[in-house]
A and B are shown apart, each in its own frame.
Chain A
Amino acid sequence: MLFRSHFKGLCVFAIGYVKDEEAAREIVQDTFVSLWEKRLTIDPSRPVKNYLSTTVRNKCLNYLRDHKKFSRDLLEIENLSDEMTVYQPDTLVELELRERIDHAMDELPEKCREIFYLSRHQNMKYLEIADKLQISVKTVETQMSKALQHMRIRLSEYLPMIILAFALIRFPARIFFSTLLPCYLVTLLPCYLFIPYASG
C-alpha cells in the first residue's frame, strides 16, 4: 500500500521543514487526500514519490509562510533535500542509533528528561509543559536546550555513522558504493590509523 510505505518517510521529510510533528502529519495526510482526489489525472508513468515529495514540500513552505516562520536563508543552510526518502525500518544502524539515543536520554537529569519526554513523546508545547509542571517557560526552554546539547555531544561520537546511515537510506546503492563509500574511507580511515601510532 502506497500509504503504508510512504507515510513515515514523508513525515520525516515534512518535519525537516515545519519543525512540528502535528503540522507535518496533517500536511502529509492532506497530501494523500489530494493524491486520492487527483489519482485519475496523475501520469502513472512518473514515480509517485516525486509527486508526493513536491506536494508535501510546497505545503510545508506554505505553512511556514502562513505562520511567519519562513526563512529562505535558514532553510538553505539546513540543506534540506527536495525529495523524501522511503523509511527503512529496523536497519542495523537505526537500532544502534536508537540505543544510543535512549542511553543519552537516561543520562539526562530527571527533570530535564521529563520535560524532553513531554515535548517529544507527548507532543506538548513549551507553554503546555510549563503549565503542567508548574514551572516557567524559560525553564522549559533551558532544559530542552540542555537536552539537545547533551544529545549533540553524545551523538557526535557517532556522527560518521549517522552520516553513513543517512547516506545509506538516502542514496541508491550504485551512488553509495561509487562515491560515498570511498569518501567515508578516505576521510575517516586515516584518523583510525593514526590512533595506534599517536601513542605508540
Chain B
Amino acid sequence: MEIKNTYYNDLITRYFYGEATPDDIVELEHWVKADPANATLFNEFQKTWKTVEQIRIGSSVDIDLEWNHLASKLGNGKYEPKRSQTGMTVTHPSMTEDQSKIVHGSAELRFAPVRTSKIISYALRIAAVSLLLLIPAFFLYQNFNRPTEQHLASGKEISVHTLPDGTRVTLYANATLTYPSRFDGPFRKVALKGEGWFEVAHNKKQPFIIAAGNVRVRVVGTSFSVNTQTVQDTKEIILTSGMVRVYYENNPQKMALLLPGEKAELSGKGEEITKTANEDVNFLAWKTRHLVFNNTPLSEVADVLTKVYLTRIRVYDDQIKDCRITATFDKQSLESVLNVLKATLDLRVHYNGAGFDLYGNGCRQGQ
C-alpha cells in the first residue's frame, strides 16, 4: 500500500514538472481514468502545483530581461512589417520605451478608461477577499474562545459564591463545585462534590442541572440543598421551595419529582430513588445557623453542632447521651449554645484544643 501510493505520487509529480516520458503519460492517463478517486488526487496535485508555480512565476520572471530578449529577437531583422492603408507608424523595439510609448499614445489612451474602472473592481475584490478571510477567522476564534471550567472549593470553611447566571451557591466545608465560565448551550450544568445549598436563578429557557456523581438534579429556579456525601455514597437532596426533578444519569425516565419539604435519597449503585418527607429540621442549619431541637437527644445535638460550627463536639459520658433538649437557637455563637446546654443539662464543657467535650452525670427524669 505504502509503495503503491508513492509510485503514483511520483508519476504525477513527474508529469507536472515536465519529466514524464510518453509512456508515463499513457500510464497516467489510464490510471486517472480508472477511478474517480485517482482523478481527484490528480486534480489536487494539479491545484497545488499550479498555485506554487503561479506564485513563483510572479517573482521569477524578470520582465526587463524578457523585454530585452524580445527586442533582440525582433532586432535580428527576421520580421517583415506588412504595410497597410491605416497609416499607423511603425516603430522598432530598439527604440527606448519612452519613445515607443509616445508613438503608441493612441493605443495607450484606449486602455486608460478601462484602467480606472479596473482599479475600482480590483479594490472591491480585495475588500471582498479580506472580509471572507475574516469570516472563518472569526469562527475559529469563537471555537477557541470556549467557556473555561471553573472550580470552587470551600476548604475548611463555608463559602458563598455567585455563578455567572446569578445563582448563589453556599458550599459546606470541603465541598467543590465545577462550573463553566459561561453558561452556553441548552442547560446550565454544574458538578458538585460534597454539600451545597443552591439558590438558582430563574431561567425557564436554560434549566439548571446539578451533577453529583451519577445523580442529576434538574431545577427550574428554586432553592434547595444537595448533599453528595452521606453514608455509603448515598446522595441526598432536600427541597425547601420550588420543584426539582431528580434522576440517575443513565436513566432519566425514572425520575422523582421533589416538592418542598421532601427528601430524595439516591444510592451510589444507581437503582432506587427513595422519597421521604424531610424530617431533619436542621439540615440547612450550617448555612442558616437556625437550630431547632425538639426533645432531641444530646448525641444528636452534638452531631448537629459539630456540623454547623465546624468544630468537634463530643459527648464523653455515656449517661448523658440520651438527655433530651428542646430549644431553638437563631444565629447564636457556639459558645452561647454550649452555655445554654451547660445550664440546662448541668454539663461540664471542656475545650480540648480541637473541639469541645461534654461531661455530665446524667439527666434527671423528664428532661
The answer to the question of B331 belonging to the interface, with a C-beta cut-off of 8 Å to chain A, is no
The answer to the question of A145 belonging to the interface, with a C-beta cut-off of 8 Å to chain B, is yes
Some 29 contacts from A to B, beta carbons below 8 A apart, are A3-B63, A3-B67, A7-B61, A8-B63, A11-B57, A11-B61, A15-B53, A23-B18, A29-B69, A36-B74, A36-B79, A37-B81, A41-B84, A69-B22, A74-B25, A77-B32, A79-B43, A92-B126, A92-B130, A97-B51, A120-B53, A141-B14, A144-B17, A145-B6, A173-B121, A188-B136, A192-B140, A199-B143, A200-B146
Assess whether A126 is in contact with B58, with CB atoms less than 8 Å apart: no
B133 neighbours in A (Cβ, 8 Å): 92-93, 96, 161
Q: Count how many chain B residues have C-beta atoms less than 8 Å from C-beta atoms of the other chain.
A: 79
**Scoring A residues 16 to 41 as 1 if CB is less than 8 Å from chain B, else 0, what string do you get?**
10111101010001001100111111
CA distance A42 to B349 in the complex (A): 118
Contact of A21 among B45, B57, B136 (CB under 8 A): B57
The answer to the question of A108 belonging to the interface, with a C-beta cut-off of 8 Å to chain B, is no
Closest to B25 in A: A71
Measured CB to CB, the closest approach of chain A to B21, in angstroms, equals 8
A148 neighbours in B (Cβ, 8 Å): 9, 12-13, 16, 45, 48-49
Mark B residues whose CB is within 8 Å of A. 6, 9-10, 12-20, 22, 25-26, 28-29, 32-33, 39, 42-58, 60-61, 63, 66-67, 69-70, 73-74, 78-84, 86, 88, 90, 93, 97, 100-101, 121-122, 124-126, 128-130, 132-133, 135-136, 139-140, 142-143, 146, 184-185
Contact of A120 among B33, B56, B82, B125 (CB under 8 A): B56
Interface centre among B57, B126, B139 (most CB of A within 10 A): B57
Assess whether A164 is in contact with B16, with CB atoms less than 8 Å apart: no
Closest to B54 in A: A12
Measured CB to CB, the closest approach of chain A to B272, in angstroms, equals 34
A165 neighbours in B (Cβ, 8 Å): 129
Contact of B61 among A8, A69, A92, A94 (CB under 8 A): A8
CA distance A199 to B135 in the complex (A): 19
Assess whether B45 is in contact with A152, with CB atoms less than 8 Å apart: yes
B58 neighbours in A (Cβ, 8 Å): 8, 87, 89, 94, 98
**Known contacts A40-B83, A87-B58; is-contact A93 B44 (Cβ 8 Å):** no
Closest to A163 in B: B47
**Known contacts A15-B57, A19-B17, A40-B86; is-contact A4 B29 (Cβ 8 Å):** no
Closest to B104 in A: A1
Measured CB to CB, the closest approach of chain B to A171, in angstroms, equals 10
Contact of A101 among B26, B52, B125 (CB under 8 A): B52
Measured CB to CB, the closest approach of chain A to B23, in angstroms, equals 9
CA distance A90 to B125 in the complex (A): 13
**Known contacts A164-B132, A165-B129; is-contact A71 B29 (Cβ 8 Å):** yes
Measured CB to CB, the closest approach of chain A to B223, in angstroms, equals 29
Interface positions, chain A 78-129, Cβ under 8 Å from B, are 78-79, 87-89, 91-94, 96-98, 101, 119-121, 125-126
Closest to A28 in B: B66
A151 neighbours in B (Cβ, 8 Å): 48, 52
